């Protein structure tokens, strides 16, 4: 085999290898995007139909639970948990360090408590804009390694906006109604 044939074969192998890697990575990226789309579509259906207790349909044809029902279930699981002396304290410190600097312009962290696998944070904001600003600052960079769910409370005093967030311990899913 001549030197040019060897170079040609090596180049062809490199191109084919690159195409295979690109195809693999593109497929993985497409699967991740499809998953994000499904999650966002389900969340949008819940938001759109929140007044109808989440009557949007999932692809399987089953009724998705309303966000109120999901948060109420997580709240129930949280209230049944006891404190984990080691993880709870370190998680509270971590969340406090990450969320407290974001609570500016009249936003106040009113509750921050961690238990066995869940943390609950309640923050009150002076206005809806204050809430949006807080969320932008707090989640501009993903910094929590577990699952998270957030819900604006429907009734906050004096025109304030309050939101409750639950954070799960890394490696633990957020409690679901199917559990």
Span 39-71, pLDDT tens digits:
666 666 665 555 444 444 455 556 777 777 888
Domain boundaries of the chain, sorted by first residue: 3-52, 67-168
What is residue 33's predicted lDDT score, i.e. its pLDDT? 61
Specify the DSSP class assigned to residue 158: G
| Predicted confidence (pLDDT) per residue in 76-109, tens digit | 999 999 988 789 999 999 998 888 888 877 888 8
| Tokens 């679901």 found at | 176
Average pLDDT of 137-155? 80
Beta bridge pairs of residue 149: 166
Q: Assess whether pLDDT exceeds 80 at residue 11.
A: no
Q: Assess whether pLDDT exceeds 80 at residue 175.
A: yes
Each as own residue / partner, the long-range contacts of residues 140-144 (CB below 8 Å, 24 or more positions apart, any chain) are: 143/98, 144/95, 144/98
DSSP alpha helix (H) spans, the chain: 3-48, 67-80, 85-99, 128-138
Q: Please, what is the average pLDDT of the chain?
A: 77
Is 106:124 a contact under the CB 8 Å cutoff?
A: no
Q: Which residues contact 125 (CB under 8 A, 6 or more apart)?
A: 106, 107, 131, 134, 160, 161, 162, 163
Q: Assess whether pLDDT exceeds 50 at residue 135.
A: yes
| Predicted confidence (pLDDT) per residue in 105-125, tens digit | 788 888 999 999 999 999 998
Angle at 20 between CA 15 and CA 22, to 5 degrees: 90
CB atoms within 10 A of CB 94: 16
Is 146:133 a contact under the CB 8 Å cutoff?
A: no
Q: Which of 111, 129, 122 is nearest to 162 (CA)?
A: 122
Question: Lowest-confidence range among 6-10, 15-19, 57-61?
Answer: 57-61
| Tokens 């049944």 found at | 80
């Amino acid at each position: 085999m001549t030197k040019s044939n060897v170079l040609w074969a090596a180049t062809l192998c490199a191109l084919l290898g690159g195409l295979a890697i690109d195809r693999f990575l593109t497929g993985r990226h497409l699967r991740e995007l499809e998953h994000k789309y499904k999650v966002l579509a389900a969340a949008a259906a819940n938001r759109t139909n929140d007044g109808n207790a989440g009557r949007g349909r999932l692809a399987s044809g089953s009724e998705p639970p309303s966000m109120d029902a999901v948060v109420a279930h997580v709240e129930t699981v949280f209230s049944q948990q006891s404190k984990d002396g080691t993880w709870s304290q370190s998680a509270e410190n971590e969340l406090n360090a990450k969320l407290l600097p974001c609570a500016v312009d009249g936003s106040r962290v009113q509750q921050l408590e961690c238990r066995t696998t869940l943390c609950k944070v309640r923050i009150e904001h002076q206005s809806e804009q204050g809430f949006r600003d807080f969320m932008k600052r707090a989640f501009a960079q993903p910094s929590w390694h577990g699952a998270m769910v957030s819900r604006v409370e429907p009734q906050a005093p004096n025109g304030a906006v309050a939101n409750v967030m639950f954070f799960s311990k890394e490696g633990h899913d957020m409690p679901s109604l199917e559990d």
